[in-house]
Amino acid sequence: MSTRFKPKFNIKKGDNVVVITGEDKDLKKPRKVLEVILEKSRVLVEGVNIVTKHTKPTSQNTKGGIVKVEAPINISNVMLWDAKAGAPTKIKRSRENGKLIRTSKKSGEAIK
């Protein structure tokens, strides 16, 4: 990605999203976004793309071993969940009183 302009995404930390492609595809189960990585256009979603990570023993973790952790997936593989419509939806962005408002295209309701 170009480093000249900061990319704008409609998905934020704490939003409910649905995975629309890939191994963890599930269009009916909304999941929570844990982190959005703007520079790489990736998002960390709860319970999606679980990888095994080998950790060495440290002073905090004296045992070490194998840990299962969520890995980021591309932001294009997720879609925002509309609770009112009960389905994934696209977003319309508009300004009201200088504030950016995200509105669902399916139900027309503002997303908090």
pLDDT, one tens digit for every residue, the chain (112 residues)? 666 888 889 999 999 999 999 999 999 999 999 999 999 999 999 999 999 999 999 999 899 999 999 999 999 999 999 999 999 999 999 999 999 999 999 999 998 7
pTM: 0.83
Non-local CB neighbours of 30 within 8 Å, separated by 6+ positions: 16, 17, 18, 81, 83
Lookup: tokens for 21: 């492609």
CA 35/CA 54 separation, integer angstroms: 22
Which CATH number does the domain 16-111 belong to among 3.30.420.40, 2.30.30.30, 3.30.930.10, 2.60.120.920? 2.30.30.30
Q: What value, to the nearest 5°, has the Cα angle with vertex 19 and ends 68 and 15?
A: 90
Taking the domains of the chain in order of start, what are their residue ranges? 16-111
Lookup: tokens for 53: 């990570």
